[in-house]
């Protein structure tokens, strides 16, 4: 490899955000290096809404399951089954899904390399230099030091982004994180399944024993399942929680295939760029939705917007273009993040409130409006009277006047 190489953009991190950014920039005719350390699969339920499938042209073969309903389970084990009307939520395996996105970026013209990002420096002419350990395959400890020059850099290297820190993006040290953990298990055979088992249903546990401040999940993936949880409580045993959830779901005897954990940001960073040549995307930018923990769709949108901002900088030379990534994202999704953040802060605080939250979700108006917003990725404005009814029902629960 030639250490004098220069790229219009170096994208660091090959998850949904980075792969989407690399694809977008390559599609614009830019010279792009996509650097991914490989061998890493993020803990993730793997749910993708129809809006993502449509906007990013995701082929059917990547969908390993189609969730047709969701079940919410309260602290008192009350269950609310919510059908997904007129559609489904796609389920993907992140290893195959992420690799397909990287291959698409490569097909558009991006160069792919396996390596671990180490540091940033600057040449005498002010152009950034990306230093990394290159290798032919994923193997910890291996690698040859390599440096390439980059006119712009997209940091998509996940939570606690080293690119953000090295690139001196303001405010990165102030970010708070939760930790997520899941186990991929083999789906139960016919004789292992309980009478209640449904391979097309997502189960969501709102119980403090599974998470004191978030929720636990059991999501179908065809011949496997993702069973996971998350919490900001450092003293809470996530692995113990997943084991208890497997027992509660009748899945304690199924084969465990993988265990994965990772930190997740709690809200979008206040700055996504360093005012010069670095812009962030995905978990590095903090775009994991509060309350739901959804990240794939927002990561891909963020990657697309980061690429567009980098392209505008390369075209105009105006560093203010980098600010457009966050500005455009928050214009599209800032209200949803605000509402979900308030919801998580209030409803997940105690068992009593979780019980009331699940009770609210029995309401058909709540179900329909929630799924319409989730599936289409915008707060639905249809059915104004339904919003009015929901407001008064929520008020009753908030004041404790509604029966649980």
Q: Confirm if 216 and 205 have CB atoms less than 8 A apart.
A: yes
pLDDT for 138: 61
**By the 8 A CB rule, do 55 and 378 touch?**
no
C-alpha distances out from residue 253 to 45, 64, 187, 258, Å: 20, 22, 10, 15
Q: Is the pLDDT of residue 367 over 80?
A: no
pLDDT in tens, 236-287: 999 999 999 999 999 998 999 999 998 989 889 999 999 999 999 999 999 9
Percent of the chain past pLDDT 70, that is, above it, reads 91
Strands 32-36 and 6-12: parallel
395: pLDDT strictly greater than 50? no
**How confident is the model over 229-240, as pLDDT tens digits?**
999 998 999 999
pLDDT of residue 178: 87
Burial 267-294 (b: 16+ CB within 10 A, else e): bbbebbbbebbbbbbbbbbbbbbbbbbb
More confident residue, 163 or 44: 163
Token reading at 358 = 């699940």
CA distances to 68, 72, 89, 374 from 65, rounded to whole Å, are: 9, 19, 9, 18
The Cα–Cα gap between 182 and 219 comes to 11
224, pLDDT greater than 90: yes
Q: How large is the average pLDDT for residues 86-91?
A: 88
Global model pTM greater than 0.85? yes
**pLDDT given at position 381:** 54
What is the predicted pLDDT for the residue at 391? 45
pLDDT at 401: 43
Tokens for 402?
Answer: 């509604």
Joined tokens for residue 172: 């990165």
Per-residue pLDDT of 302-356, as tens digits, reads 999 999 999 999 999 999 999 999 999 999 999 888 888 888 888 888 999 999 9
Residue 164, Cβ density class (10 Å: 0-12 exposed, 13-18 middle, ≥19 buried): buried
Three-state secondary structure call for residue 151: strand
Q: Two tokens at 357?
A: 């939250």
Give the E-state strand segments of 222-353 in sequence order: 224-231, 256-265, 278-280
Which residue pairs from 251-255 have beta carbons closer than 8 angstroms and sit at least 24 positions apart in sequence? 251/185, 251/188, 251/218, 251/225, 251/227, 253/192, 254/185, 254/186, 254/187, 254/188, 254/192, 254/225, 255/185, 255/186
Residue 25's CB: how many other CB atoms inside 10 A? 31
CA Rg value for the chain: 22
The mean pLDDT of 64-87, rounded to a whole number, is 91
Q: How does pLDDT run across 105-136, given as a tens digit for each residue?
A: 999 999 999 999 999 999 988 899 999 999 87
Which two tokens mark 400?
């404790």
pLDDT score, position 378: 66
pLDDT mean across residues, the chain: 89
CB atoms within 10 A of CB 361: 18
Say how many Å lie between the first and final Cα of the chain, rounded: 65
pLDDT tier at 31, thresholds 50, 70, 90: very high
Q: Distance (Å, rounded) from C-alpha 197 to C-alpha 369?
A: 27
pLDDT of residue 36 exceeding 90: yes
Say yes or no to pLDDT of 44 above 70. yes
Please choose, from the candidates 254, 29, 300, 53, the residue with its C-alpha nearest in 3D space to the C-alpha of residue 154: 300
DSSP-derived pairing of the beta strands 201-205 and 177-186: unpaired
- pLDDT range class, residue 194, cuts 50, 70, 90: confident
Confirm if 373 and 292 have CB atoms less than 8 A apart.
Answer: no
> What's the pLDDT band for 102 if we cut at 50, 70, 90?
very high
The residues, ordered by sequence, that sit 6+ positions from 108 with a Cβ below 8 Å of its Cβ are 22, 23, 26, 27
Q: How many CB atoms lie within 10 A of CB 317?
A: 8
- pLDDT (0 to 100) of residue 380: 53
The distance between the two most distant Cα atoms of the chain, rounded to a whole number of Å, is 70
Give the mean model confidence (pLDDT) for residues 17-34. Answer: 98
């Amino acid at each position: 490899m030639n250490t004098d190489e220069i790229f219009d953009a170096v994208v660091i991190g090959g998850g949904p955000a980075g792969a989407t950014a690399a694809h977008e920039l390559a599609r614009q005719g830019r010279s792009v290096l996509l650097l991914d350390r490989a061998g890493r699969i993020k803990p993730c339920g793997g749910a993708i809404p129809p809006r993502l499938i449509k906007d990013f042209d995701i082929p059917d073969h990547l969908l390993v399951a189609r969730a047709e309903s969701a079940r919410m389970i309260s602290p008192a084990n009350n269950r609310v089954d919510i059908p997904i009307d007129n559609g489904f939520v796609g389920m993907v395996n992140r290893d195959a899904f992420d690799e397909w996105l990287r291959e698409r970026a490569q097909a558009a013209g991006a160069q792919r390399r396996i390596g671990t990002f180490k540091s940033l420096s600057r040449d005498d002419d002010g152009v950034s230099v990306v230093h990394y350990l290159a290798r032919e395959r994923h193997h910890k400890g291996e690698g040859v030091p390599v440096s390439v020059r980059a006119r712009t850099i997209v940091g998509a290297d996940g939570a606690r982004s080293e690119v953000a820190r090295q690139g001196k993006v303001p405010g990165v040290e102030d970010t708070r994180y939760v930790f997520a953990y899941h186990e991929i298990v083999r789906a139960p055979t016919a004789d292992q399944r309980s009478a209640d088992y449904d391979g097309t249903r997502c189960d969501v546990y709102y119980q403090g024993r599974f998470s004191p401040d978030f929720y636990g999940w059991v999501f179908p993936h065809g011949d496997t399942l993702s069973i996971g949880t998350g919490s900001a409580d450092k003293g809470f045993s996530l692995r113990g929680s997943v084991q208890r959830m497997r027992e509660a779901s009748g899945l304690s005897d199924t084969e465990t295939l993988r265990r994965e954990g990772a930190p997740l940001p709690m809200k979008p960073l206040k700055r996504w760029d360093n005012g010069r040549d670095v812009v962030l995307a995905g978990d590095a930018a903090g775009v994991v939705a509060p309350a739901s923990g959804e990240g794939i769709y927002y990561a891909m949108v963020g990657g697309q917007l980061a690429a567009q901002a980098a392209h505008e900088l390369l075209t105009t030379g105006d560093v203010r273009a980098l600010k457009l990534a966050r500005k455009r994202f928050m214009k599209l999704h800032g209200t949803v993040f605000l509402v979900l953040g308030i919801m998580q802060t209030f409803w997940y605080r105690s068992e009593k409130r979780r019980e009331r939250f699940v009770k609210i979700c029995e309401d058909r108006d709540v179900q329909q409006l929630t799924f319409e917003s989730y599936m289409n990725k915008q707060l639905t404005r249809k059915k104004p009277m339904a919003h009015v009814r929901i407001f008064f029902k929520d008020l009753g629960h908030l004041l404790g006047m509604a029966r649980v």
